[in-house]
A and B are shown apart, each in its own frame.
Chain A
Amino acid sequence: MAIPVLEARHVSKHFRDPIDVKVLDDIGFTITRGEFVSVVGKSGCGKSTLLYVLSTMDTDYEGEIWIDGENMKLKTHHELAHVRNEKIGFVFQFHYLLNEFTVLENVMLPALKLGRYPREEAAERAMHRLKQLEIDHLAQKAANQISGGEKQRVAIARALINDPLIIMGDEPTGNLDKRNSEIVFGIFRQLAEEFNQTMLIVTHDMAFAARTHRTITMEDGRILLT
């Protein structure tokens, strides 16, 4: 039987400033383990807003979000930070690496924060992830000295470091050229097929969405198709 990883129950959200706008309207769906799901929709349909609500970073919503059998509504900010650290991996449109650190350190940081493994083992695991994404030769470079496509691959390695329950992506290929988009998509598909990694990717690239297992289509804060 399919195990639910993430579940949204009647999730609604309003933007109150400057005027009251309902951006999410009674969203409900379930993602089970191993699913590779994409969320598509026009600009402003609320798909990114939904992702950030699901990510636990945005706590201003109505309804319930369950991750790994736990209700996120009941947790404090500190506990939510721990959930993000342990169970969720993020890949953003802009690569968001910490420029003060090397590539390897960027990848290691969430693992060090989690503290499940000692430092040496965390470094080993980070190297393993970098190898898997074929960017291990960049490990000792400063994060701001590598190309955009490489940065996005480092971000994916960082998202994977704690073996998260789910990876969330906000237009991960949106800021990349065709070739790099292909590489990144290839990585996602490999993760889904070979490692059975659960993923939820927001995109406006219909070609990208078409190649995922399941596509959720949104319009005006509602789910049209799932």
Chain B
Amino acid sequence: MNVKLTMEIAWSLMLARWKQTLVAAIGVTFSITMFITLLSFMTGLNQLLDSLILNRTPHVRIYNEIKPSEVLPIQRVRELDGYHHFVHSVRASTAREEILNSEAILRAIQSDQRVLGVSPKASAQVFFNAGNVDITGVVNGIDVLAEAELFHFGEYVVAGSLPDVHKLPNTIILGKPLAARLMVELGDIIQLTTPDGERYQAKVVGLYQSGLQDFDKTQSFASLTTVQKILGKSPSYMTDIQVKLNRLEDAPSVAREYQLLFGTEAADIQTANAQFDTGTFIRTLIAYAVGVTLLIVAGFGIYNILNMMIYEKMDSIAILKATGFSGRDVRLIFLIIALGIGFFGAITGLFFGFVLSSIIDQIPFVTEALPTTKTYPINYDPLFYLIGLAFSIVTTYLAGLFPAVKASKVDPVVIIRGK
């Protein structure tokens, strides 16, 4: 079958009813535009919300849990195998938060191919002294540069200087609401007390805001050596080793492996933040469901218009058949019309979807909770455009198929004799 001729006939039939054709195409355009905009915006928001936690969370966190040993001394006595013991209320003793042999573990992790980077951490419970009031809080001793590179630490420091806390001794970055409670500003000296009663003074060189108000009320950051000094510990003292992997999906298996290898606890990001995955999944699902519904409605529009066109063009179909076009050719003509509407509707829809999401991307969106966000977030994932195009073509094909089959079955004798 001559494709060019079929296209020409399809094109002429479309032109003859160009208003209806345009309305059908606009239906597709509108639905694709909304599909793209909705998904770009929804997933943009998803990424923003997820990054609030995920960016700052290590993929694998190695730490020591304070807990009683799993095997009690009485269980080690061979002669008592198979007996029941009555040791109740077992408690942990000689509590150590420290990771044993931490430097060797650090080296081992750094040489692992799957690891993007590693950052040690030592956190200490302290009391911040504000006049007569003590405020409980945490000082996180971190490797500032590694933390900035791996966990975007710098993005959340809203005032002051990041290098200062790295270079200068006895400096600290306070959570912004914490600083407000302590009534201190940049450059002020604060005093803090360790649980052991040691007093320590530090200079405020930065303010930190994560967007989680309750978190910021208690947190502060200092260099690892500063915290080791506060606690009076050696330079190998660390309570957490934070690992960022090349592939997020590897986290559970790597965590299990490290747990066995180093004899410590190891938590992976998926287990720690399962609710974020669920939330993201549900929001994306809703976006797709709405987008697909829009497309199906557009599909019904195309179905209607083609059906009408076929009733109007009965004579033309009959004459085409009488002069040698087979049912197959006629079906192809109407399928081309449907796919033409779908394709051009989809292309313009993708374009307008891009334009609309770019416009949303320019709308200011400033909120206390999200210091790094200035405009509404948009995710320009090319996958959405591909899905939009593919789905619109499939929908219009199906919408065109039934009318096209009906057209191919038109009996020319009935039409020609029926006049």
A-side interface residues toward B, CB under 8 Å? 48, 52, 55, 57-58, 77-78, 80-82, 84-86, 90, 92-94, 96-101, 109-110, 112-115, 158, 170
Contact = CB atoms under 8 A, between A and B. Distances in A.
A100 B15 contact: yes
B326 A96 contact: no
B319 A96 contact: yes
Interface in B159-190: none
B41 to A, nearest CB: 42
A55 B324 CA distance: 11
Contacts of A158: 323
A113 B323 contact: yes
B419 to A, nearest CB: 5
- Top-4 shortest CB links A-B: A85-B324, A81-B326, A100-B12, A100-B16
B329 interface: yes
Nearest to B323: A110
B171 to A, nearest CB: 81
A119 B35 CA distance: 43
A170 B418 CA distance: 13
Interface in B378-419: 412-413, 416-417, 419
B164 to A, nearest CB: 78
Given A52-B417, A92-B416, A81 B16 contact: no
Given A96-B315, A100-B13, A100-B16, A78 B412 contact: no
Q: Please indicate which of the listed interface residues A52, A81, A90, A101 has the most CB atoms of chain B within 10 Å of its own CB.
A: A81
A115 B328 contact: no
A101 B15 CA distance: 11
B327 interface: yes
A211 B310 CA distance: 41
Contact of A84 (B12, B13, B324): B324
A48 B2 contact: no
Interface in B293-326: 315-316, 318-326
Contacts of B318: 96
Interface string B329-340: 100000000000
Given A52-B417, A84-B322, A96-B416, A77 B327 contact: yes
Interface residues of B, number: 26
A113 B323 CA distance: 9
Nearest to B416: A92
A99 B16 contact: yes
Given A82-B326, A114-B324, A115-B2, A100 B413 contact: no
A81 B417 contact: no
A119 to B, nearest CB: 9
Contacts of B326: 77-78, 80-82
B232 to A, nearest CB: 93
B5 interface: yes
Nearest to B327: A77
A98 B319 contact: yes
Given A96-B315, A100-B16, A112-B5, A58 B413 contact: yes
A113 B325 contact: yes
Nearest to B12: A100
Contact of A112 (B2, B319, B322, B413): B2
Q: Please indicate which of the listed interface residues A57, A99, A158, A170 has the most CB atoms of chain B within 10 Å of its own CB.
A: A57
B226 to A, nearest CB: 83
Contacts of B9: 109
Q: Please indicate which of the listed interface residues B16, B324, B327 has the most CB atoms of chain A within 10 Å of its own CB.
A: B324
